């Protein structure tokens, strides 16, 4: 039978953090987890928008400020945290038409979609007892990482190229984090999820053709949240990649899907991890077992 929100187990007593929970797939994910009894923390850049979203979500919710495009904000969020985390959902993501930079000088999509979640996960990892789910995308297949120019300082900026790069980074991060967790003897699982083609705010600045496709083909945020929830609660091995089952994995009930050869490249993943540590000043905090 296809996975639905009815398959989410009782999460009473569990704590989940959902980044970007004020709208779209993040809000739908937060509502589903809260509906199953979890305490859900809306980790959002705009506190007022987070509060408005949390008020529409029945259950145990709270709002905390987190700007993934500002490493000081990421560190402050992690420093405030107390207690165990059963689920960390790295959902927040952006796509912007013009070159912009984070507070720390990173290209905005790479900084927000990869480096921010990378730092957040490592800073919170000692609190995490269950799973980390990172929202990725099949657009990783067109992604390339130029280690000599990760922030588009020497090449012309292109929105799709920057987005694809950040989504490839998400899957490389997922694989490398699971390898490190396994070597540390941790029971924590790192998963990735592709929501499919979803009508969301990420297409606000898109052109008329993209907006037409959204109107004709996109599924709802509630449907897009299903692969994320599947990755969060289903009986799956670590480093799984969940996505919709139909229309080239763009719509439908969730299932495990494949990824590109470069997303499986352990050497590339290790190289990206080293760069990410250097850029964020954060490290994998667990001790590796011999």
Point out the residues that are catalytic: 163
CA atoms within 13 A on the CB side of 237: 5
- Detail the DSSP E strand segments found in the chain: 15-19, 39-44, 61-65, 85-90, 128-135, 189-193, 241-246, 251-256
Phi first, then psi, for residue 106 (nearest 5°) are -85, 155
| Rounded CA separation 75/281 (Å) | 10
How many angstroms separate the CA atoms of 262 and 270, rounded? 12
DSSP letters, 204-219, are TT--HHHHHHHHHHPB
CA distance 260 to 250: 16
Tell me how many degrees the CA angle 233-189-286 measures, rounded to the nearest 5.
Answer: 145
CA proximity to 147, closest of 165, 159, 170, 171: 165
Q: How far apart are the first and last CA of the chain?
A: 42
In whole angstroms, give the CA distance from residue 36 to residue 238: 23
**Strand order through the sheet with 241-246:** 61-65, 39-44, 15-19, 85-90, 128-135, 189-193, 241-246, 251-256
Token pair 């990172």 is at which residue? Answer: 134
Q: Beta 189-193 vs 15-19: how paired, if at all?
A: unpaired
């Amino acid at each position: 039978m296809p996975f639905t929100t009815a398959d989410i187990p009782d999460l009473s007593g569990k704590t989940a953090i959902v980044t970007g929970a004020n709208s779209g797939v993040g809000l739908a994910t937060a509502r589903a987890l809260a509906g199953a009894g979890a305490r859900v923390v809306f980790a959002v850049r705009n506190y007022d928008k987070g509060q408005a979203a949390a008020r529409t979500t029945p259950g145990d919710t709270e709002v905390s400020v987190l700007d993934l495009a500002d490493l000081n904000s990421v560190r402050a969020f992690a420093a405030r945290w107390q207690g165990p985390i059963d689920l960390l959902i790295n959902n927040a993501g952006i796509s912007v038409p013009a070159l912009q930079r984070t507070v720390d000088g990173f290209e905005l999509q790479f900084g927000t979609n990869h480096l921010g979640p990378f730092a957040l996960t490592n800073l919170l990892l000692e609190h995490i007892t269950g799973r980390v789910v990172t929202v990725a995308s099949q657009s990783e297949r067109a992604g390339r990482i130029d280690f000599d120019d990760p922030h588009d300082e020497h090449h012309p900026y292109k929105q799709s190229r920057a987005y694809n790069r950040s989504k490839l980074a998400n899957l490389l991060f997922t694989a490398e984090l699971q390898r490190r967790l396994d070597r540390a003897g941790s029971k924590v699982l790192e998963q990735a999820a592709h929501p499919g083609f979803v009508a969301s705010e990420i297409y606000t600045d898109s052109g008329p053709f993209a907006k037409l496709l959204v109107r004709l083909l996109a599924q709802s945020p509630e449907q897009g949240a299903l692969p994320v929830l599947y990755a969060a609660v289903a009986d799956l091995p670590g480093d799984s990649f969940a996505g919709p089952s139909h229309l080239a994995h763009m719509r439908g009930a969730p299932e495990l899907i494949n990824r590109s050869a470069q997303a499986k490249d352990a050497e590339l993943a290790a190289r990206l991890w080293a760069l990410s540590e250097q850029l964020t000043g954060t490290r994998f905090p667990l001790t590796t077992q011999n």
